[in-house]
Amino acid sequence: MLYIIGLGLSDEKDITMKGLEAIKSCERVYLEAYTSILMEKLYEKELILADREMVESQSDDILLNADKINVAFLVVGDPFGATTHADLIIRAKELSIPIQTIHNASIMNAVGACGLQLYNFGQTISIPLFTSNWRPDSFYDRIKENRNLGLHTLCLLDIKVKEQSIENLARGRKIYEPPRYMTINQAIEQLLEIEENRKQNAYTSETLAIGIARLGSLTEQLIKAGTLNQLLSEDFGPPLHSLVIVGNKMHILEVDYMRYFVVDKNKFDEIVKRDYKI
């Protein structure tokens, strides 16, 4: 059996009982993240680090003998939060390997903690880190489509882990850059730059948004709401960060819930009354 097991959002204790029991039945356990001694102690298994390169190009190593023994592939969040996991499942099906998926919380459902109702979200987007000569903006159209329908947009922010510089990539050198995690502040800077270039009024600096940091942590979760311009100068601390751009329609309960997170209640009430349909 190949088990695809979600680990949840915060730490090694977020795993489900079903997931923990499956891990303990496995002969090999792969972790799609940096390995953790805490995880190994709790799960009572040695963890094999499976980076993106291994998952995408060496899936046969992960699936080796999985039709005869139990193998686990551990995923932060939920197993279907990334397309690479679907690719691994398709490959297992082609090899007639039995598969069991064990779900867990992910940003896609836990984002409801910000007070916005899940069925009022539209298309989720990913925002990549800009470089000096690469500044993509295709996701801008998705935000515009969502807001035209009055829907909120969950923005997943870029994570650069085990990335190579162009020079090292060209020379075939296995030298990797230090990990980088996009902050809410960086995401907003890029969004405002794109709006300035596109000028299609998908959003403005006065558009309401919610910054979410370390979602799922019992002690370090942080949620702040305000205009994009207000959140631009807020401190959200260490990663991981996510951003929600609020749609131009809100339910009254969403407004009431958001008010607990806003950095300026008077400004919030003024903007809601002026710009939003309730």
Determine whether the annotation assigns residue 106 to a binding site. Answer: yes
Distance of CA 240 to the CA centre of its chain: 8
Check whether 81 is labelled as a binding-site residue: yes
CA 154 to chain centre: 9
Classify burial at 132, counting beta carbons within 10 Å of its beta carbon; exposed 0-12, middle 13-18, buried 19 or more.
exposed
* Torsions phi, psi for 92 (to 5 deg): -65, -40
Distance CA 271, CA 278 (A): 12
Q: What are phi and psi of 31, to 5 degrees?
A: -120, 120
pLDDT given at position 53: 72
Residue 215 assigned to a binding site:
yes
| Cβ contact 26:45 at 8 Å | yes
So what's the pLDDT on residue 80? 87
Q: What is this structure's pTM?
A: 0.90
Cβ–Cβ < 8 Å for 23, 5: yes
7 belongs to an annotated ligand binding site: no
Structure tokens at 269: 């009430």
In angstroms, rounded to a whole number, what is the distance separating the alpha carbons of residues 272 and 278? 8
Identify residue 259 by its one-letter amino acid code.
R
Structure tokens at 177: 């850059």
Is 9 among the annotated ligand-binding positions?
Answer: yes
Q: What pLDDT, on a 0 to 100 scale, did the predictor assign at position 238?
A: 94
Which domains are present in the chain? 2-105 (3.40.1010.10), 108-276 (3.30.950.10)
pLDDT of residue 199: 95
**Helical pair 139-148 and 184-198, crossing angle rounded to 10 deg:** 80
pLDDT in tens, 124-178: 999 999 988 889 999 999 999 999 999 999 999 998 776 656 666 666 676 666 7
Whole-angstrom distance, CA of residue 127 vs CA of residue 138:
10
Strand stretches in 89-206, DSSP E:
99-102, 125-127, 153-157, 159-160, 180-181
Confirm if 207 and 239 have CB atoms less than 8 A apart.
no
Per-residue pLDDT, 166: 64
- The Cα 149–Cα 78 span in angstroms is 28
Type of residue numbered 110: A
Mean pLDDT per block of 10 residues along the chain (278 residues) reads: 92 92 95 63 83 76 94 91 79 94 94 96 95 92 97 94 63 70 97 96 97 94 98 96 97 96 97 94
Determine whether the annotation assigns residue 241 to a binding site: yes
